[in-house]
Structure 1
Amino acid sequence: MSENIKPYALITGASKGIGKSIAYELAKKGYPLLLVARSAAELKVLSDDLKVKYGINAFVLSIDLSTNGAALKVIDWIKTNNYPVGILVNNAGYGVWGDFSKSSLNDQLGMMQLNMNVVVELSHLFVPVLSQQKQAYILNISSTAAYQAVPTLAVYSATKAFVLSFTRALRFELAQTSISVTCFSPGPVDTGFAERAGLNAFSKMAEKFNMQPDEVAKMAVKAMFDKKSEVIPGFTNIISVYANRILPKGFVEKMAAGIYKI
């Protein structure tokens, strides 16, 4: 392959929020895209817009990644069409808010499947594919929730802690290869996440601290290409994570419980 031809970037959860903004950011840089999400209609609109604005290829795969075998279908799609992938962005995920014992077990397990298992499955399946490039990247989207236990978001914060730990370990293992691995952990972002998680009251308060998806995506892509290991965007978020490290865990958890209380 010519060095002037960029490899494809595959983005999960690409139809909205941070994933959609990352798609635009990479398209601006001339990367052809593989867009994966549940909504076929939203993916088509996005794909058409990217093609018109930036003249890049943007192919779509509508699939529910939380279903068993979804990751294998993604890699089969890649291999069947011979897409040369050089970037994997594991962005798809969601949160479930509420007391753990009163929340739907199926919802919690589905969240674990998407937030953790799919990240592991796709990373494992794509390492051989990415290894074919002179330089390749894996960008895993975590959250500032990864740095503490969050009552009423107990499983969500635990899944994001998993992503952070997994990413750092994978980065170390792949250090001598052509694949750079980055974990990006934003705080509140104006993506509708709070509403979808059921955090309606919190969403109004979070508006004061929300970062915009385009701003976050730009920082995430830069961190990836700069080969950073772990990045937290925003001064407030950095201070919050630092405070979590030095304050007693019980105190931090009590504060979080007050913020996210039912």
Structure 2
Amino acid sequence: MKVTLITGASGGIGKAIAFEFAAKGHHLLLVARNKEKLSTICSELHVKFKIEAHYITADLCDKNSPQFIYEESKRRGLSINILVNNAGKGSSGEFYKNILDSELEIIQLNNASLVALSHYFVKDMIAKKSGYIINIASMIAFIPSPYMAVYAGSKHFLKTFTYSFAEECKPYNVKVMLFSPGLTTSNFMNTKENNNDWGKTLTANSNTQTPEEVANELMIAFGKEKVFHVSGSKNRFFVKMTGLMSQRFIAKTFGKQKRNQMGLK
């Protein structure tokens, strides 16, 4: 059975993406850590859209999870023709004060596990000369972001990796897209790593979209087979404007602004 695999699908953007694909008749394989949420979502999708919805409970902060997901999908006879690498996490605050293990988990989840999943599943897509991989990045992929240093670095890596990877896949009719949302009304900023004074400062007065708005834009970009898309017209304008500035200037400006907001010199 051909299915669309979506990571980080138990809430937020991942869940909204699952509903968009289900509405288009796609069978699904959802991955996240929370078994209860996954089971409930799969049941709802099956009833509402009459599609097959499967799930695998896995923590992609664990380096062994990508191989487990790949092998488990094979064992179940599920053929992944679309892979949506959505799972991700970040942190806010001064890097030297943040917990090192949590910072390293960001790199494992946002980069290493995504690369591993892409490596496992793209081989099958290349063999069939058909497939689509969507990597969910962030507007931060285009700018330095002091006080979210590791998260920003992980998304910069993802941007460069995806552009390069997409070009390599062209001869095999496998399409790869970098999709970059801005700040979204989800639980992303409510984690222990982000729910602090720095996190609140970073997101104050920011333009936001709902997960449903982001997922809807993703489906439009997917339908047009885009290689790159920034979600939200204001976000697209911001990316264009910052593209005219040096990365060092942006880092200095944002760093000073955030320190002023925190009452620091």
Q: What's the TM-score bracket when you normalise by the shorter of the two chains?
A: over 0.9
- 1:258, CA displacement in angstroms? 4.9
- Judging changes above 3 Å, is the alpha-carbon distance between structure 1 residues 48 and 14 closer, same or farther for their aligned structure 2 residues? same
Q: What secondary structure, in the 3-state scheme, does the structure 1 residue paired with 2:158 have? A: helix
CA contact (8 A) 2:63 2:112 kept: no
Q: What secondary structure, in the 3-state scheme, does the structure 2 residue paired with 1:246 have? A: coil
Instruction: Give yes or no for the alignment of 1:191 onto 2:186.
Output: yes
What amino acid is aligned across from residue 224 of structure 1 in structure 2? F
Matches within 5 A, 1:54-65: 54-65=49-60
Matches within 5 A, 1:15-54: 15-54=10-49
CA contact (8 A) 1:202 1:259 kept: no
Structure 1 equivalent of residue 139 of structure 2: 144
Q: 1:175 aligns with which of 145, 158, 170?
A: 170
Mean Cα deviation higher: 239-248 or 84-93: 239-248
CA contact (8 A) 1:86 1:133 kept: no
Mean Cα deviation higher: 129-138 or 191-200: 129-138
Q: How far apart, in 1, do the equivalents of 2:118 and 2:20 lie? A: 22
- 1:82, CA displacement in angstroms? 1.2
Structure 2 equivalent of residue 111 of structure 1: 106
RMSD: 1.6
Q: 1:88 aligns with which of 79, 83, 88?
A: 83
Structure 2 equivalent of residue 157 of structure 1: 152
CA contact (8 A) 2:63 2:113 kept: no
CA contact (8 A) 1:11 1:19 kept: yes
Q: How far apart, in 1, do the equivalents of 2:200 and 2:256 lie? A: 15
Q: What secondary structure, in the 3-state scheme, does the structure 1 residue paired with 2:178 have? A: strand
The aligned length equals 255
Q: How far apart, in 2, do the equivalents of 1:37 and 1:190 lie? A: 19
- 1:195, CA displacement in angstroms? 2.4
What amino acid is aligned across from residue 192 of structure 1 in structure 2? N
What amino acid is aligned across from residue 200 of structure 1 in structure 2? K
Q: Deviations over 1:107-128 (max 9, x none)?
A: 1000000000011000000012
Q: What secondary structure, in the 3-state scheme, does the structure 1 residue paired with 2:170 have? A: coil
Mean Cα deviation higher: 217-226 or 134-143: 217-226
Q: What secondary structure, in the 3-state scheme, does the structure 1 residue paired with 2:243 have? A: helix
TM-score, normalised on structure 1?
0.92
- 1:27, CA displacement in angstroms? 0.1
- Judging changes above 3 Å, is the alpha-carbon distance between structure 1 residues 132 and 51 closer, same or farther for their aligned structure 2 residues? farther
Structure 1 equivalent of residue 117 of structure 2: 122
CA contact (8 A) 1:171 1:181 kept: yes
Q: Deviations over 1:147-199 (max 9, x none)?
A: 11110001101100111111111110010112100000111111122222222
Q: What secondary structure, in the 3-state scheme, does the structure 2 residue paired with 1:183 have? A: strand
CA contact (8 A) 1:63 1:70 kept: yes
Q: What secondary structure, in the 3-state scheme, does the structure 2 residue paired with 1:175 have? A: helix
Gaps (5+ residues) in structure 1? 1-5
Structure 2 equivalent of residue 205 of structure 1: 205
Instruction: Give yes or no for the alignment of 1:239 onto 2:237.
Output: yes
Q: Deviations over 1:71-104 (max 9, x none)?
A: 0100011111110110000000011111111111
- 1:247, CA displacement in angstroms? 2.1
What amino acid is aligned across from residue 222 of structure 1 in structure 2? I
- Judging changes above 3 Å, is the alpha-carbon distance between structure 1 residues 49 and 204 closer, same or farther for their aligned structure 2 residues? farther
Q: How far apart, in 1, do the equivalents of 2:128 and 2:219 lie? A: 18
CA contact (8 A) 2:10 2:41 kept: yes
Q: 2:223 aligns with which of 225, 237, 243?
A: 225
What amino acid is aligned across from residue 104 of structure 2 in structure 1? L
What amino acid is aligned across from residue 11 of structure 1 in structure 2? I
Mean Cα deviation higher: 164-173 or 126-135: 126-135
Q: Deviations over 1:5-33 (max 9, x none)?
A: x8200000000111100000000000000
TM-score, normalised on structure 2?
0.91
Gaps (5+ residues) in structure 2? none
Give the share of equivalent positions with the same residue, in percent.
34
